[in-house]
Amino acid sequence: MAINIRGRHYLKLLDYTSEEIRYLLDLSAEFKRMKRNGVPHRYLEGKNIVLLFEKTSTRTRCSFEVAGMDLGMGVTYLDPGSSQMGKKESIADTARVLGRMYDGIEYRGFDQKLVETLAEYAGVPVWNGLTDQFHPTQMLADLLTIEEKFGRLKGLNFVFMGDARNNMGNSLMVACAKMGLNFTACAPKELFPDEELVAKARAIAEENECTVTLTEDVEAGTRNADVIYTDIWVSMGEPDEVWETRIKLLQKYQVNRQVMENAKKSAIFMHCLPSFHDTNTVIGRDIADKFGIDEMEVTDEVFESRQSVVFDEAENRMHTIKAVIYATLC
């Protein structure tokens, strides 16, 4: 049966079937082939999209802008200081105004309820570029990258290390369950995903003949892993005071040589970026000065190793976002 998601919102992977996700991955791979071969694909000329950013980003903004321009569209970027959304104008009113002017709206910000409200009132497709609860555009890039490296998704062992109740932990758990990967959250119990979401993911995983596991044991959790994935320990928008507590909780969950050696020899390392793998950033230097650690969620050795696919993953944000835009607007 042909897949048609024209006019749909893209807010979280829970809203999509495994077959629809497969369609988006295949479309992403085709757009990547066209981009690499210099084949024009300005299929959406005459359309316009707007990007609403309450949280800044390099990869998400650039991916949406380049994807939109490659498809022949006009792209408007609005940062927190360029819009009255939520200040002088309600989310619902903003959605109804922008929906009259644009063919699609991307939102990157805080509460999932905000992007859901935009979608309710906009009258055009709304795409979630990241909220505190979910990061669905990142998921397609991650799945595409894994499939490129292994030639398949189903049956692979995927391990997420760190704060497993953040948007990345939540989204990766659902993505793996949807596409048949065995998901393990390796984290302290205080940072396990929400129980209700775990139950949903396990029900989906059972349908797709895979598993969802939560463990505090690093050695057991990473044994025979095909993919080791981590994220920064403190998310954007969390207060600076969180760093000390989070570092104490998560230091043993750092991705280092021992972790990678415990995984399969063919294992890859993934990270959604940015990463604190050295002190070549303002925050990295500040953390090193305050807490005496030069590397946080991943060592520089692993980040720069042959097993690291983080920049392939970053590039794939563009191809997969292009697929989402095209599939929902064409």
Residue 223 scores a pLDDT above 80:
yes
Catalytic: which of 108, 165, 277, 319? 108
| 87 vs 197, residue with greater confidence | 197
Q: Is 6 a catalytic residue?
A: no
Q: Is 176 a catalytic residue?
A: no
Q: Is 62 a catalytic residue?
A: no
- pLDDT of 148: 98
Contact 171, 138 (CB under 8 A): yes
For residue 237, name the pLDDT band (cuts at 50, 70, 90).
confident
- pLDDT of 238: 81
Per-residue DSSP letter, 192: P
Radius of gyration from C-alpha coordinates of the chain: 19
Total-model pTM: 0.96
Contact 130, 185 (CB under 8 A): no
Catalytic: which of 61, 103, 133, 138? 138
What domains lie within the chain, and their CATH numbers? 13-134+316-329 (3.40.50.1370), 138-314 (3.40.50.1370)
Catalytic: which of 9, 61, 317, 319? 317
Mean pLDDT (whole number) for 172-188: 98
Q: Is 317 a catalytic residue?
A: yes
pLDDT over 90 percentage in the chain: 92
pLDDT over 70 percentage in the chain: 99
Catalytic: which of 176, 186, 210, 272? 272
Residues 19-77 pLDDT 10s: 999 999 999 999 999 999 999 999 999 999 999 999 989 999 999 999 999 999 999 99
CA–CA distance, 185 with 214 (Å, rounded to integer)? 5
Give the mean pLDDT of the chain: 96
Q: Is 231 a catalytic residue?
A: yes
Mean pLDDT (whole number) for 82-92: 79
Strands in 212-215's sheet, in edge-to-edge order, are: 212-215, 182-186, 157-161, 227-230, 268-271
CA–CA distance, 330 with 165 (Å, rounded to integer)? 35
- pLDDT of 236: 72
Mean pLDDT (whole number) for 106-118: 96
Catalytic: which of 231, 246, 254, 271? 231
Instruction: Provide the CB-side half-sphere exposure for 185 (13 A, CA).
Output: 30
Q: Is 108 a catalytic residue?
A: yes
Residues 259-291 pLDDT 10s: 999 999 999 999 999 999 999 999 899 999 999
What are the CA-CA distances from residue 75 to residues 10, 65, 84, 226 (Å)?
Answer: 18, 6, 19, 38
Residue 1 scores a pLDDT above 90:
no
Contact 48, 103 (CB under 8 A): yes
